[in-house]
Amino acid sequence: MTIHIASQMSSESSQPGRLNLLLAGLRAQLIHAPLILGYWIAYRYVIHTVPGFGNLPFYQLLLKVLVAILPMTLLSYVIFKFCRMVWRERPAHPLRYMALSTFEFFSHPRRLAFGLWMLLSFLIFATIFTDLKENIPRISPFAWDLTFAELDRTLHFGKQPWQWLQPVLGFPLVTFFVNIVYNFWFFVMWIFVVCMAFADSASELRTRFFFAFFLTWSVGGSLLAIVFSSAGPCYFARLGLSPDPYLGLMSYLHSVAEIYPVWALDVQNTLWQSYTDRGLVAGISAMPSMHNATALLLALAGHRLNRRLGVLLWIHCAFIYIGSIHLAWHYAVDNYLGWLIALSCWWVAGPLARWWENQPHIRHLTQSIEMTATPAAASPATR
């Protein structure tokens, strides 16, 4: 007994302190820093070259994003743990189990060392992205909608993609279900991001996923969204474009809204109102589709984590594609370019992640973090 206690005390004394652990976690993930720094520099350049850019000072927008991210991070883990609890664990005291599990997950030293810096990176990145997205029409007015609508018709044998889908999806209950799945996209993404960010160990897959994620959203969500500035099928008539090939689809969606909630229509109206009034809740951009690009990244990474998870995420990816067209958010070509960007960034991130994780000093840092013992009070809730 004495020998066991002495051994445990010796092991704990050799572990790095919390501050050193956090610093090691920061250094182990610096591969993302040049990408985020480059994004910041490009953002500052745009601010100084586009007249009337922005509605809020950066620090106020940063606080606004922080207020949104923190509860979403907590809620995402709670949703994930609740689903796992119902399907697999089924504890005797669910509420106590959920509370203890959530606390232990976010207070675990190793998880904090990896996750805290990734969450901070997301906070900075999301703030820059939000400001750029809200100002896309000022940087580059919508000019590509007619081109993309015609390209869709040409690529899909003389008919718009929604017309091909309508015989299968054109039933109110089906549309309602598609709308639910499409709206849940953010939770699927953020649950995956939170679980990967707060992993208790580093991996080549984790590094690859986050590098590809940041690169995809930088190139697709900002650069190409500005170059190919477009509003999307739901705004075709509001842009004054004619003839409107989406009139039938929008009429159908409004008819469904009289029976079931179609939240896409409410969000579309809110975004347009904010766009015309230059409000704070803005961000209209169709090309490329970041919903579809992100769904593909999740499927690619999820498949390598777990085959069953991968199957679910591939199904989710298919539903996002269908929903983006059926709910009039995107032209089909928006989705195809989004996929191409995601695949390209995933391919680029592979060798970089492999190189980074094989660097001797990075291996040493991650090993020192991973040697940190699980807190003695840990319960089965976190296992």
pLDDT digits over 306-322, tens only? 899 999 999 999 999 99
Residue 75, Cβ neighbours under 10 Å: how many?
14
DSSP 313-357: HHHHHHHHHHHHHHTTS--HHHHHHHHHHHHHHHHHHHHHHHHHH
**Average pLDDT along the chain:** 87
- Single pTM value for the model: 0.89
pLDDT digits (tens, 9 = 90+) for 73-116: 888 888 888 888 877 777 778 888 888 888 888 888 888 888 89
Which residues does 328 contact at the CB level (< 8 Å), separation at least 6?
162, 232, 233, 234, 246, 249, 250, 253, 264, 268
φ/ψ of 66, rounded to 5, equals -60, -45
Which two structure tokens, joined as six digits, stand for 287? 């090309």
Residue 382 confidence (pLDDT)? 39
Q: CB under 8 Å to 315, separation ≥6 — which residues?
A: none
Average pLDDT over residues 195-218: 93
High-pLDDT (> 90) share of the chain, %: 58
Each residue of 12-56: pLDDT tens digit? 434 457 788 888 888 888 999 999 999 999 998 988 888 767 656
Separation CA 209–CA 196 (nearest Å): 9
Q: Which of 335, 324, 379 is nearest to 96 (CA)?
A: 379
- Model confidence over 126-176: pLDDT tens digits? 999 988 998 888 889 999 999 999 999 999 999 999 999 999 999 999 999
Rounded Cα–Cα distance for residues 353 and 214 (Å): 13
Averaged over 274-300, what is the pLDDT? Answer: 85
Q: How many residues does the chain have?
A: 383
* pLDDT on residue 282: 63
